[in-house]
């Protein structure tokens, strides 16, 4: 049974098949979640990343997770927010879709996403949460895997946004009983 959930946690600590990194196009490490992942994965990660670079916005690459408890790191590059005028919403959806395609190709059963683009890249947090949940829901409806998609939120405000988005976009439609108006 495939499903989505959200938690508040540090993504580097999770024992899942794959964690997703909000990387930059050179895959060279940076601040935020990218920095935390590079520090925790250890010195072999930069070399593995160099072989896969560059990675344009919306695309994804995969490396081993080295010292992390996860098996894989899927590096995806979110869009920098420019007021919504440069296809940022489509690019962010592509990050989730392309990460999930890579996950399926590597038989990943559980995958954890951070709130891509909502830190240094400035994407509005509520809109990003809606795009993340809707894109992953559509992917699961089409492909029925990976089994578990976990949205990892670093702060309580982001967690609350994801809880609301999951509620809004994954409510099961109950068919109206005969003779009842919906
Ligand atoms: P971007 O450059 O794509 O905006 P950031 O790393 O600046 O990426 O931020 C993306 C999100 O990741 C933010 O919501 C930030 O709070 C969150 N974040 C930062 N560190 C961690 C971590 N260790 N685990 C999970 N999320 C994190």
Q: Which of 34, 138, 147, 155 is catalytic?
A: 34
CA-CA-CA-CA torsion sign (153, 159, 161, 167): positive
pLDDT at 182: 42
Ligand 1 pocket test: pick from 32, 59, 113 the residue with the most ligand atoms within 8 Å of its Cβ. Answer: 32
Tell me, yes or no, whether 114 lies in a domain.
yes
Tell me, yes or no, whether 178 lies in a domain.
no
Tell me, yes or no, whether 175 lies in a domain.
no
pLDDT, tens digit (0-9, with 9 covering 90-100), for 91-100: 999 999 999 9
CA end-to-end distance (rounded Å), the chain:
28
Tell me, yes or no, whether 74 lies in a domain.
yes
Indicate if 10 belongs to the active site.
no
Quote the strand ranges of the chain, DSSP E: 3-8, 18-23, 60-64, 72-77, 110-113, 148-153
> What average pLDDT does range 130-152 have in this prediction?
98
pLDDT at 171: 77
Q: In 3D, which of 64, 68, 87, 81 has the Cα closest to residue 115?
A: 81
CA of 141 to the centre of ligand 1 (A): 27
What is the residue range of 163's domain?
A: 3-170
pLDDT, tens digit (0-9, with 9 covering 90-100), for 31-68: 999 999 999 999 999 999 999 999 999 999 999 999 99
Tell me, yes or no, whether 180 lies in a domain.
no
> What average pLDDT does range 151-165 have in this prediction?
98
Tell me, yes or no, whether 181 lies in a domain.
no
CA of 118 to the centre of ligand 1 (A): 7
- What CATH number does residue 26 fall under? 3.40.220.10
Rounded Cα–Cα distance for residues 177 and 182 (Å): 9
Residue nearest to atom 20 of ligand 1 (CA): 33
Q: How many domains does the chain have?
A: 1
Tell me, yes or no, whether 8 lies in a domain.
yes
CA of 13 to the centre of ligand 1 (A): 14
Tell me, yes or no, whether 37 lies in a domain.
yes
pLDDT, tens digit (0-9, with 9 covering 90-100), for 80-93: 999 999 999 999 99
Residue nearest to atom 23 of ligand 1 (CA): 10
CA of 116 to the centre of ligand 1 (A): 7
């Amino acid at each position: 049974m495939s499903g989505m959930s959200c938690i508040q946690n540090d993504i580097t600590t999770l024992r899942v098949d794959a964690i997703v990194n909000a990387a930059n196009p050179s895959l060279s490490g940076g601040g935020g979640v990218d920095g935390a992942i590079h520090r925790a994965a250890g010195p072999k990660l930069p070399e593995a990343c160099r072989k896969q670079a560059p990675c344009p916005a919306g695309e994804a690459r995969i490396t081993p997770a080295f010292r992390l408890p996860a098996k894989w790191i899927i590096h995806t590059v979110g869009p920098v927010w420019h007021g919504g005028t440069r296809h940022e919403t489509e690019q962010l959806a592509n990050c989730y879709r392309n990460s999930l395609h890579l996950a399926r190709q590597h038989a990943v059963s559980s995958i954890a996403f951070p709130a891509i683009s909502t830190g240094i890249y400035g994407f509005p947090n509520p809109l990003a949460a809606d795009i993340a949940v809707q894109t992953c829901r559509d992917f699961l409806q089409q492909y029925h895997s990976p089994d578990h998609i976990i949205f990892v939120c670093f702060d309580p405000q982001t967690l609350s946004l994801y809880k609301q988005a999951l509620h809004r976009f994954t409510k099961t439609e109950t068919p109206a009983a005969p003779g009842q108006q919906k």
